[in-house]
Amino acid sequence: MVTTEVGDTFEVRDLSLAEEGKNLIEWAELHMPVLRKIRERFIKEKPLQDVRVGCCLHITKETAVLGQTLKAGGAKVFLCASNPLSTTDEVAAALAEEDGIHVYAWKFMDTEGYYRSISNVIKNEPHISVDDGADLVGILHKMKRGEQAPEVDIVKKVLGERIDWIDNVWAGAEETTTGVIRLRAMAADGAMLYPILATNDTPTKWDYDNYIGTGQSTIDGVLRATADLLAGKVFVVAGYGRCGRGIAMRAKGMGARRVIIVEVKPHKVLTAALEGMDVMPIKEAAKVGDIFVTATGCKNVIAREHMELMKDGAVLANSGHFNVEIEIPALEEIAVEKKEIRPLVNQYTLKDGRRIFLLADGRLVNLAAAEGHPSEVMDMSFSDQALAVEWICKNKDDLKNRGGVVIDIPKEIDNQVAQLKCEVMGLKYDLLTQEQDKYLKSWDEGT
């Protein structure tokens, strides 16, 4: 069991790590110039004055810069982890020392600690939720509906029997694909009680964070955990959405002898094939793969029947939000021995002597075994989030009447972030002439 330090505004691993955390945050800040520009404006305008923002996010150095930016805008910020293994303890310690930021997170949280931390955010009655995976949103709704569940029992130890915590929330913003999938399902069922912006789906997040960021950070996690050589390996990626495409691209660039894609959607199968990837069913890929990475948002993508086909030394990792993409209970059942052979690498020995290596307990390998996405790409994602929070504040009265819907990020926010990123990178581009603009808006000119 991990011991923690607890104060009125925090629960973290070790406050003595704060100085190292401040250095990490400073490094991230240097690489996040768009968010710095937004912060400069927030300091002057205070658009978030006295707004309580509850965030369930990966507590990384980049998240710290977002938290400080929201605080600069006048908000009171409450942070908990969105994954038990993704917290950078040094960063959490540094944030615990900041006035106006409350943080409840540490690495290797158990289930009780995880939901206790979410409860500590909820008890501060946030006006806006900022989620990565929708666990904060989920608990708010489960409490309101009076659901019976183990996680609800944990939450009640902190919050008591009160159920109306969700009534204070104006709206929210969701960071990741898995969370948006959950929220759209809730909205379709009529179960969602307040509007939430799909930050994940805006181009300056989706096309860069998911594709470029996940590609690099996932490979980084695999390499830090294993120290393996990728060149010459057969690398299998489950899922060819933005995240899977990015992982496959980076694996290919690192010299993988063969990159195999497994998919369930025909148009993604075609995309993979036309981009030079091998495509086959998982049962076939299981026999030949050296390294397997899941990035689907689904469950049991790599199941018992697939693991029974794998060769000795196969490495399994997940880059999806939840640790359900690899059927870990089945792996536990078919193994006769399990041991941690390296930090965050468990070796499972099967009856016939074959060994399968599972990285980071099947959790997000890029955050559990590495540091998550590079700061430069999170600069755009968290700029989107900061501006989404500001937009919610400006439109809260209208949002109260919209009910439980998933809303696209306004295009002006996405365009602003893209323009600022081009500016700080020194990228120059053409503008339409008046004639060109008129032509694109008309329909009467043709052949």
Task: For residue 65, name the pLDDT band (cuts at 50, 70, 90).
Answer: very high
**CB 195, CB 391: distance < 8 Å:** no
Average pLDDT over residues 341-360: 98
- Residue 374, judged by CB atoms within 10 A of its CB (0-12, 13-18, 19+), counts as middle
CATH class of 212-368: alpha beta
63, 217, 339, 410 from 20: Cα distances, Å = 16, 22, 31, 37
Average pLDDT over residues 275-291: 98
> What pLDDT score was predicted for residue 445?
81
State pLDDT tens for residues 365-411.
Answer: 999 999 999 999 999 999 999 999 999 999 999 998 899 999 999 99
Enumerate the CATH 3.40.50.1480 domain ranges in the chain, comma separated: 5-205+373-425
Query: How does the average pLDDT of the chain come out, rounded?
Result: 96
Q: Which pair of tokens denotes residue 335?
A: 């193994």
Task: For residue 446, name the pLDDT band (cuts at 50, 70, 90).
Answer: confident
Distance CA 382, CA 376 (A): 10
> What pLDDT score was predicted for residue 225?
98
- DSSP bridge pairs for 406: 196
Task: For residue 46, name the pLDDT band (cuts at 50, 70, 90).
Answer: very high
Q: Which helix (H) or strand (E) holds 305?
A: helix 304-307
b/e code 18-38 from CB counts within 10 Å (16+ = b): beebbebbeebbebbbbbbbb
Distance CA 126, CA 198 (A): 19
- Residue 149, judged by CB atoms within 10 A of its CB (0-12, 13-18, 19+), counts as exposed
Q: Tell me the fold of 5-205+373-425.
A: Rossmann fold (3.40.50)
Task: For residue 329, name the pLDDT band (cuts at 50, 70, 90).
Answer: very high
Name the residue with tokens 């964070």: 209
State pLDDT tens for residues 113-145.
Answer: 999 999 999 999 999 999 999 999 999 999 999
106, 256, 309 from 262: Cα distances, Å = 34, 16, 15
Average pLDDT over residues 39-52: 98
Q: Per-residue pLDDT for 447 more than 80? A: no
Helices 411-425 + 33-45 axis angle, to 10:
120
> What pLDDT score was predicted for residue 298?
95
> What pLDDT score was predicted for residue 15?
97
> What pLDDT score was predicted for residue 401?
87
b/e code 113-122 from CB counts within 10 Å (16+ = b): bbbbbbbbbb
State pLDDT tens for residues 1-37.
Answer: 688 999 999 999 999 999 999 999 999 999 999 999 9
Task: For residue 231, name the pLDDT band (cuts at 50, 70, 90).
Answer: very high
Per the rule left: phi > 0, alpha: psi between -120 and 50, beta: everything else, 125 is left
Average pLDDT over residues 331-344: 98
Q: What percent of the chain has pLDDT over 70?
A: 100
Distance CA 89, CA 87 (A): 6
Distance CA 433, CA 430 (A): 9
User: In the 3-class helix/strand/coil scheme, how is 354-378 assigned residue by residue?
Assistant: CEEEEEHHHCEHHHHCCCCCCHHHH
Average pLDDT over residues 328-351: 98
> What pLDDT score was predicted for residue 247?
98
H runs (alpha helix) in 315-400: 328-334, 365-368, 375-394, 396-399
User: How is residue 213 annotated by DSSP?
Assistant: I
* Strand order through the sheet with 10-12: 5-7, 10-12, 101-104, 76-81, 52-57, 128-131, 171-174, 196-198, 406-408
- Residue 266, judged by CB atoms within 10 A of its CB (0-12, 13-18, 19+), counts as exposed
**CB 360, CB 226: distance < 8 Å:** no
Distance CA 262, CA 249 (A): 15
CB atoms within 10 A of CB 338: 13
Q: Per-residue pLDDT for 102 more than 80? A: yes
Angle (CA) 376 90 80, round 5°: 80
Q: In the chain, what is the straight-line distance between the N-terminal and C-terminal CA atoms, in Å?
A: 73
Q: What percent of the chain has pLDDT over 90?
A: 97
Closest listed residue to residue 58, CA positions, set 79, 20, 36, 86: 86
> What pLDDT score was predicted for residue 95?
98
The whole-model pTM stands at 0.94
State pLDDT tens for residues 141-158.
Answer: 999 999 999 999 999 999
Please give the residue that has the higher pLDDT: either 235 or 447. Answer: 235
For residue 404, give the 3-state DSSP assignment. Answer: coil
Enumerate the CATH 3.40.50.720 domain ranges in the chain, comma separated: 212-368
